[in-house]
Structure 1
Amino acid sequence: MESPQRVQTLAESGLSLLPEEYIQPPDLRPNRSTDTTTFAATVPIVDLASSHGGPLPELRRACAEWGAFHVVNHGVPLRLLDAIRGAGLSFFAAPMAEKLRFACDPASPASEGYGSRMLAKDDGVLDWRDYFDHHTLPESRRNPSRWPGFVPSYRDIVVEYSNSMKELAQKLLHLISRSLDLPPSYIEEAVGEVYQNITISYYSPCPQPELALGLQAHSDMGTVTLLIQDDVGGLEVLKDGEWVIMQPLPDAIVVILADQMEIISNGEYRSAQHRAIVNSNRARLSVATFYDPSKARKIYPAPQLINEHRPAKYREVLYGDYVSSWYSKGPEGKRNIDALLIQ
């Protein structure tokens, strides 16, 4: 299969009209006339250093009502957040010939490397985004030779960032378990051996941002996603039918609950539907760390959260089957998890 056109190449060619394959249907386009900034202050902020009983009340509300929130005092060194963002920017600023040496397989949407297309099928609208995906956990999947060596310290930074994100994810899973009145290790044990991917996304300036999306609306398929942004902004979360911008907070990390978390919590916590919008003036960079089960893992609602007043909401699913469905059907909101609902 021919390698697809890179969005960055299109953006830098000086085109004034968006190519047809990037134009979203009218009902999916960002509504630029809606002022979402008034909602920004309501996006929850969870302080992991919180005293007076700890962060559990705020965490419970954020997980139940939003499925996405900022965490502060998270313990990840701030110099490491800057380092991974800087490494990503250096990669995308490099000559195309250098970047293409690390191109992922366009026929395999989950392959590691430099790409532009989330799904293998060609009949959908394309996202205005390029990315580099790294396979980082379990460590047997780590092969730094597949990562750019021409950016100074890039490979070391990714490894250190992977380890720090693992520690933070484990801390969050323990807190989320406790907030559900489950044993602290419950969700971690339910997920089993963790598969972690780190995706650095680059959203180039777009000639007609009102027609495009950097990332189409979807909920993540795994357990939890930890994301950092730059100061440009563009991440939106769906809350009560409205798209709410998650304004970048200096030094904060965005936590996005994914579909397996909703299943394990028996629907008490929700996976967040989110998307990325673009602009005509500035490129935007984000770094998402996905913390997911192995494909051989069966995921089901925690028995402790099922009773006569709250029956099981979701069927058990083999995670590998869930991933296959997500990539074959496409994300499109939350239709993949909705397919597991017990009517």
Structure 2
Amino acid sequence: MAEKDSNDDRKSELEAFDDSKTGVKGLVDSGAAKVPRIFIHEQNKLEHKSDSGNCQNFTIPIIDFQDIDRDASARCEIIDKVRKACEKWGFFQVVNRGIPLNILEEIINAVRKFHELDADVKKEFYSRDETRSMIYNTNFDFYQASAANWRDSLYCVMAPPPPNPEELPAVCRSVMMDYSKEVMKFGLTVFELMSEALGLNSSHLKDLGCAERLYLIGHYYPACPEPELTLGLSKHTDSGFLTVVLQDQMGGLQVLHEDDWVDVEPVSGSLILNVGDMTQASLFS
């Protein structure tokens, strides 16, 4: 009976938080000095020190794409690096990838501006209706996870088909469209390299439809009053074909490699690619 009461209490807390439609940012803005129980990761309190990315012997591969079209020899070297990174890591960091730096900076700033809008403006986008092309909320698995993560997120299906621009927040509408076009082009390049790394025609993955879908997620991690009790992002694996992560100078991303958590050192203007479980399992096993 006590367990049922506890579950009921937790459900009520989750619903009350969600009904506010102000997210974690709303808690911070209200002056919260304590982390609410629904965000506390009990296991994290026990494992915080041992999971802290203490491996100094590894670093994820950094691949320079600058000479990708210079000549066949340079392209082969890049393809070989991509193949090894996919086989051994599932992650790699790309520099000189062709996406204008100003667009990368603008998308980061635009997502931040959205999350820092007045709560009443953001409320109209707050939803858990996954049929909408664009939504804002706290944790996609808010009601399923054992503990919520300390973050808010903006989600948008950018392709296919592209969203109606009027459905996007005005503060980030234009750059979301520009950024998405650049990422789609970059994605085609990556899928060509991956196809060639497998000894296939360069258009193989494209022809399978792997480069057709783009899902943009803009996470926001407000300052936390008790960071030792919660997480911004739990350890997890991704099933998507390709995840592009914008990295700024703050860092914080870790990758599990050979049973060690490896800190991903930020490289200004770089992109971090996550190959994803599905691609890794089906193409590189």
TM over 0.5: yes
Contact 1:106-1:117 within 8 A present in 2 as well: no
Richer in helix (by share): 2
Evaluate the alpha carbon distance shift between residue 90 and residue 122 of structure 1 in structure 2; reply closer, same or farther with a 3 A threshold. Answer: same
Contact 1:109-1:119 within 8 A present in 2 as well: no
Distance, in Å, in 2 between the alignment partners of 1:52 and 1:191 is 23
Matches within 5 A, 1:182-331: 182-192=200-210, 194-265=212-283, 267-268=284-285
Q: Which of 79, 90, 99 matches 2:102?
A: 79
Distance, in Å, in 2 between the alignment partners of 1:25 and 1:82 is 36
Mapped pair 1:66 → 2:84: no
Contact 1:233-1:246 within 8 A present in 2 as well: yes
Q: What amino acid is the match of 2:64?
A: D
Evaluate the alpha carbon distance shift between residue 261 and residue 122 of structure 1 in structure 2; reply closer, same or farther with a 3 A threshold. Answer: closer
Distance, in Å, in 1 between the alignment partners of 2:226 and 2:238 is 27
Distance, in Å, in 2 between the alignment partners of 1:156 and 1:41 is 39
Contact 1:48-1:54 within 8 A present in 2 as well: no
Identity of aligned residues (%): 27
Contact 1:44-1:69 within 8 A present in 2 as well: yes
How many Å apart are 1:193 and its aligned residue?
6.6
How many Å apart are 1:166 and its aligned residue?
0.4
Q: What amino acid is the match of 1:145?
A: E
Distance, in Å, in 2 between the alignment partners of 1:16 and 1:98 is 25
Q: Describe the superposition over 1:226-251 as per-residue Cα deviations: whole angstroms up to 9, x where unpaired.
A: 11022222211111112112122101
Mapped pair 1:172 → 2:194: no
Evaluate the alpha carbon distance shift between residue 260 and residue 52 of structure 1 in structure 2; reply closer, same or farther with a 3 A threshold. Answer: closer
Matches within 5 A, 1:45-64: 45-50=62-67, 51=74, 53-64=76-87
Q: Describe the superposition over 1:77-97 as per-residue Cα deviations: whole angstroms up to 9, x where unpaired.
A: 000001101111211221111
Contact 1:132-1:201 within 8 A present in 2 as well: yes
Mapped pair 1:8 → 2:25: yes
How many Å apart are 1:109 and its aligned residue?
8.9
Question: Larger relative CO (CA 8 A, sep 6+): 1 or 2?
Answer: 2
How many Å apart are 1:15 and its aligned residue?
2.8
Q: Describe the superposition over 1:13-48 as per-residue Cα deviations: whole angstroms up to 9, x where unpaired.
A: 333332111112326876346663663862210111
Contact 1:24-1:213 within 8 A present in 2 as well: yes
Distance, in Å, in 1 between the alignment partners of 2:133 and 2:125 is 11
Evaluate the alpha carbon distance shift between residue 122 and residue 222 of structure 1 in structure 2; reply closer, same or farther with a 3 A threshold. Answer: closer
Q: Describe the superposition over 1:200-251 as per-residue Cα deviations: whole angstroms up to 9, x where unpaired.
A: 1101112222221212222222211111022222211111112112122101
Mapped pair 1:31 → 2:43: no
Alignment partner, residue 312 of structure 1: none
Q: What amino acid is the match of 2:153?
A: Y
Q: What is the aligned residue count?
A: 262
Alignment partner, residue 6 of structure 2: none
Mapped pair 1:90 → 2:107: no
**Larger displacement relative to structure 2 (43-52 or 156-165):** 43-52
Q: What amino acid is the match of 1:143?
A: N
Matches within 5 A, 1:100-139: 100-103=123-126, 105-106=127-128, 108=130, 112-119=134-141, 121-122=143-144, 124-138=146-160
3-state SS in 1 of match to 2:156: strand
Evaluate the alpha carbon distance shift between residue 261 and residue 33 of structure 1 in structure 2; reply closer, same or farther with a 3 A threshold. Answer: closer
How many Å apart are 1:111 and its aligned residue?
6.0
Q: Which runs of 5+ in 1 are unaligned?
A: 269-343
How many Å apart are 1:190 and its aligned residue?
2.4
Distance, in Å, in 1 between the alignment partners of 2:41 and 2:217 is 23
Task: Let me know the Cα RMSD of the aligned residues.
Answer: 2.5
How many Å apart are 1:259 and its aligned residue?
2.2
**Structure number with bigger Rg:** 2
Distance, in Å, in 2 between the alignment partners of 1:28 and 1:223 is 33
How many Å apart are 1:108 and its aligned residue?
4.0
Q: TM-score, normalised by structure 1?
A: 0.69
How many Å apart are 1:121 and its aligned residue?
2.9
